[in-house]
Amino acid sequence: MKIKVGFGYDVHKLGEGEELWIGGIKVEHTKGSIGHSDGDVLIHAICDALLGAANMRDIGFHFPDTDPNLKGIDSKILLSKTMLLLREAGYEVGNIDSTIALERPKLKPHIPKMQEVLARVMAIDQEDIAIKATTTEKLGFVGTQQGIAAYATVLIQKNK
């Protein structure tokens, strides 16, 4: 069995009146992510981690923000397509460990639903997806509520 690890990071600017999509669910808030797609930083970080672990470049290579067909796309579709690429190369997900950095709103009550949605989209066990949330103690662009960031580490395996 071949085991690989990948790391992903994404950041989006927050804007008034935009929708806030995180982990495949809409979170009610006065600000939301600004992006070419729906701006789901968690899914984007997970996609980057998966693609990196499999040495398949990154999310921007496969789903460029210059593609007008991807404007406003649901990031769950990007994750589903990433999983197809991974499985076509013979890989399966072992587990995901992720962290979302956002000052407000508090995400703890939303994490179980995020895990449920991501597990369904990826066709993996919910227990294999860890999601943590943190603030930056009012420091930096996250702390001043100008943006949101997400980090993801993944383990993938290939049976030889």
pLDDT tens digit string along 96-132?
999 999 999 999 999 999 999 999 999 999 999 999 9
62 annotated binding-site participant:
no
30 annotated binding-site participant:
no
Q: pTM for the complete prediction?
A: 0.97
148 annotated binding-site participant:
no
Q: What is the mean pLDDT of residues 8-34?
A: 96
141 annotated binding-site participant:
yes
Percentage of the chain exceeding pLDDT 70: 100
pLDDT band at residue 1 using 50, 70 and 90 as cut-offs: confident
pLDDT band at residue 153 using 50, 70 and 90 as cut-offs: very high
Residue with tokens 């919910």: 126
63 annotated binding-site participant:
yes
Q: What is the mean pLDDT of residues 128-149?
A: 97
Domains along the sequence of the chain with CATH: 2-158 (3.30.1330.50)
153 annotated binding-site participant:
no
Residue 159 has a pLDDT of 77
